[in-house]
Structure 1
Amino acid sequence: MNERRRGPVLIELEDGPDTDARQGPAEAPREPGPSPADAPAIDDPDGPLPRPRTMEMVTRLIGRPPSRLTRIFINSGVALFAFLLSIAALDFLNGLLNSYPLLGWIGIALFAVFTLAALGMAWREYRAWARFARIDAIQRRAGSALAEGSLDQARQATRDLLAIYHKRPEMEWAAKRLAEHQAEAVDAQSLLTMAETELMAQLDQEARREIEAAARTVAAATALIPLALADVAAALAANLRMIRRMAEIYGGRAGAVGGWRLARTVMTHLVATGAVAAGDDLIHTVAGGGVLAKLSRRFGEGVVNGALTARVGIAAMEVCRPLPFIAQPRPKVGNLVTRGLRGLFD
């Protein structure tokens, strides 16, 4: 059998309608159809990222200072209320002494106990703020010693650190070790590095755990609480507690008034250092929140709110820490949020 040979097939395309009589009648020109490039995108990867509305509200509540008129109104109102309450209490006790002397003396004793307790709380607030001022002085002295290379200032800062931490049982061994080896340092940086390694490393780990717990709480509250202001209240309480814990870890004490003032100081530090902007340590977390927002908007907002809470915690560390970060690694938002959310799911 003869095999049929296969060769190339040539198809001629003519532009004119009547160039070849064998092609038959010419067809009418067709209008161009829709292009696939004009089709709408199925998934827009550059969509808007979830807004951290909860942390924005918390930041406004804490960081916005009251105006002078507001301060005058609040202070004068509190003073007037205390004055009128004292006059009313004294008038009531005077009438009670005239009518029932025994009950009058009991009322006077209770009023005296309340007055002493109020004075004691005021004294505790004053001591707590004085302790913060002492830590702030150590920070400035350590920064000046590093900038000027002054060994004397570094030794003074080390002595102040030992005075703060030598009475704490968990810091006793580290403080004793630092006191024994601080004479081996030959310059300011080596001495402060030794002090940071011996005293701050353990405290930094505790501070990181507190930040992770606060970030986990805020993320869970944003994702799971459907009420509008309940998540704001939960985030505010978590941030205030975290800031107070930062002060307690690094040697300070914060009461009601002192804790609120410390929170305002932390927010001012955030604004002054530009940490409220999205840096490299926050971009990946915010992008991850945008990806999760495609599945659940509330959960994506929770991740971003947790990241901002971690940034507030890092700022609280920098404010409450007696020494700057020299040899110890500075915490990053991404690592803290990752460990915090891992603890949420574990």
Structure 2
Amino acid sequence: MSDERAPKAFRLPPDRTENAEPEREPRALRGADMAVVTPAEIDVFDGDVDQAAPPPPPAPRRRSRLGAIFFGAAGILVSLAVGLSIDDLIRSLFARADWLGWFGAGLAAVAAAALVALLAREAIALSRLSSVENLSRRATDALTRNDPKAARALVDDLAGFLSARPQTAAGRKTLEALRHDVIDGPDLIRLAETELLAPLDAAAQQLILDAGKRVSVVTAISPRAIVDLVYVFYEASRLIRRLAELYGARPGTLGFLRLARGVLAHLAVTGSMAAGDTLVQQLVGHGLAARLSAKLGEGVVNGMMTVRIGMAAMDTVRPLPFVAIRRPSVGDYLGALARFAGTGQGSKDTPARPAS
């Protein structure tokens, strides 16, 4: 028997030395093209979508210059037509009798002076509303950049803007005593929010709750849906104006229209107008649907719609964003409003005050 063995084929194991070249990655995953996902980011994607930060509101559309030119030219033409009509009327009065002509000219002069006064008042009201928007914008910028100089200038302007509000007298005195002891800009803004706006926020929440109660009662006993719609519109309009006056805006007619447009835009962006299924789910979740009759439940829904409008108006007319003070939520009003609708005795119910 021969000692020679038949040839065989062997598969060598892969080389595991340290100098071995690693396996080449696909080109789409190499270098700068490679995206690294951390476990924290995976947890964010696996979590609840509702807890993610809300998307920023869409940028306002630019106004059309053609529209501005059209309305400007049309306004001038209407003004000329009205002026010529008044001129023809006065000439006709002079043709009939001199005293009638002078009487008509005097009335025209009084009307012109009243129009100038109205326009001046509307311009002042629009200026106050613009000041509120400017203060809120400056506060956001100072908080973002952590600028102590901008924060001090903002706090001074805010104290001057709210100087006419008696609710802020104690807060202004405290702020004046402590403002030089605070070095950090965001801390100074938080101090100003706590001292100056906290009493106004409490009054604003009481106004919102009272409006919701009135809407709940009226819509619960009204026989027609059109009455509900008209009263909700009236109460919401009055609530927007009273909140603006509370925070120092005091809008006129044009300012109110501008403010109402801003509130509607805020509601559209935040989705707060969806008071249908979501609000019914909230009522059922709080165990209130079984306690209230159908008509009272409808009144609570209408009251909560008014509350949502008031919350949006509060966000719009408030000179500072909510930073040190918690923003009120629907739940702060829901319990008090439902108890009021169920018992009819809710005069002492107040919403939960925002925690600092």
Q: TM-score if structure 1 supplies the norm length?
A: 0.71
Once the two structures are overlaid, the 10-residue window that deviates more, 201-210 or 252-261, is 252-261
Task: Tell me what 1:216 maps to.
Answer: 213
Matched, 1:312 2:309: yes
Corresponding residue for 2:24?
Answer: none
Contact 2:146 2:184 in 1 (8 A): yes
Q: Structure 1 pair 278/100, CA: closer, same or farther in 2 (3 Å)?
A: closer
Q: CA deviation at 1:126?
A: 1.6
> Which one has a bigger Cα radius of gyration?
1
The answer (yes or no) to whether the contact 1:221–1:235 under 8 Å persists in 2 is no
1:98 is aligned, of 95, 100, 104, to: 95
Residues 158 and 99 from structure 1, CA distance in 2 versus in 1: closer, same or farther, beyond 3 angstroms? same
Q: Are 2:238 and 1:241 aligned?
A: yes
Residues 31-82 of structure 1, C-alpha deviation per residue, up to 9 Å, x if partnerless? xxxxxxxxxxxxxxxxxxxxxxxxxxxxxxxxxxxx9999999988876665
Q: Quote the residue 1:86 is aligned against.
A: 83
Which residue of structure 1 aligns with residue 12 of structure 2? none
Deviation for aligned residue 1:251: 0.9
Instruction: Check 1:75–1:298 CA distance in 2 against 1; reply closer, same or farther (3 A cut).
Output: farther
**8 Å Cα contact 2:126-2:254 kept in structure 1:** no
**Equivalent of residue 261 in structure 1, options 247, 255, 258:** 258
Partner of 1:194: 191
Task: Give the structure 1 partner of residue 134 of structure 2.
Answer: 137
**Hey, what's the Cα distance between the residues in 1 that align with 2:290 and 2:122?**
43
Write out per-residue CA displacement over residues 232-269 of structure 1, whole angstroms, 9 at most, x where no aligned residue.
11100111111111111111011222212211101111
Indicate yes or no: 2:152 matched with 1:159. no
Structure 1 residue 290 displacement after superposition:
9.1
Q: Is the counterpart of residue 301 in structure 1 residue 301 in structure 2? A: no
Cα contact 1:125–1:257 (8 A) shared by 2: yes
Shift of 1:217: 2.1
Distance 2:279 2:189 in 1: 30
Alignment partner, residue 150 of structure 1: 147
How far apart, in 1, do the equivalents of 2:69 and 2:213 lie? 39
In 1, Cα distance between equivalents of 2:73 and 2:295:
42
The verdict on how the C-alpha distance between 1:313 and 1:92 changes in structure 2, with shifts beyond 3 A counting, is: same
Secondary structure of the equivalent of 2:225?
A: coil
Identical aligned residues as a percent: 38
Return the letter of the residue paired with 1:210: L
* Equivalent AA in structure 2 for residue 239 of structure 1: A
Superimposed CA distance per residue, residues 172-197 of structure 1 (whole angstroms, 9 cap, x where no aligned partner): 33223212211111212210111011
Rounded to whole Å, the distance in 1 between the matches of 2:198 and 2:300 is 28
- Within 5 A, what are the aligned runs for 1:1-346? 82-277=79-274, 285-287=282-284, 292=289, 296-340=293-337, 342=339, 345-346=344-345
Give the match's secondary structure for 1:240. helix
- Alpha-carbon distance between aligned partners in 2 of 1:181 and 1:329, rounded to the nearest angstrom: 22
Contact 1:310-1:337 at 8 Å conserved across structures: no
**Gap runs ≥5 in structure 2:** 1-63, 346-356
Q: Is the 8 A contact 1:135 1:320 kept in 2?
A: yes
How far the C-alpha of 1:338 sits from its partner, in A, is 3.2
Whole-angstrom CA distance in 2 between matches of 1:192 and 1:284:
38
Q: Is the 8 A contact 1:154 1:191 kept in 2?
A: yes
Which structure's relative contact order is higher, taking Cα pairs within 8 Å and 6+ residues apart?
Answer: 1
Aligned length: 279
The residue aligned with 1:37 is: none
| C-alpha distance in structure 2 between counterparts of 1:293 and 1:125, whole Å | 49
Q: Equivalent residue for 1:23? A: none
Contact 1:290 1:300 in 2 (8 A): no
2:126 counterpart letter in structure 1: W
Post-superposition Cα deviations, 1:137-181, rounded to whole Å, max 9, x if no partner, equal 111111122222221221121011012022334433322321221
2:95 partner amino acid: N
Q: CA deviation at 1:104?
A: 1.8
Structure 2 counterpart of 1:136, one-letter code = E
Identify unmatched segments of 5+ residues in structure 1: 1-66
Deviation at 1:108, TM superposition (A): 1.3
